[in-house]
Amino acid sequence: MSNKEKAPLPEDTRPLPKTRARFRALPVIIFTLLLMLLATSLIQLHTEETLIPRYCKNPDETLYYLEKVMTERTPAGEESRRPYLIAAKLIYQVPQERKESIKDYLLRVRAHIQQYC
């Protein structure tokens, strides 16, 4: 065999044909956005159907605990922390506006709870 002639490669060692795989970003972006919208909708539904009705039983007590959470360093002291934790969830569900006083915030939270009860 001369230098110019090469022996054929066995079937399993031949290089694969060069094909160009194209990554399609648009479907991935759309799918991700739809998942994010679905998650947001489910969180909102869970808040309205499960979490807010919990506060309807005794809104005055909830607001009392919420005020203590917002004003005291250790509001529970030696008491059970559970009611304080439940009330503190309202801080995330109804965020306090910038420069809003605690009194005004509690009034707004009360109105929010009454809206769903």
Q: What percent of the chain has pLDDT over 90?
A: 25
CA 6 to each of CA 10, 16, 17, 30, 45: distance values in angstroms, whole numbers, following the listed order: 12, 18, 19, 50, 70
Least confident span in 1-5, 25-29, 86-90: 1-5
**What is the pTM assigned to this prediction?**
0.59
Domain boundaries, the chain: 50-117
Please say whether the beta carbons of 65 and 87 come within 8 A.
yes
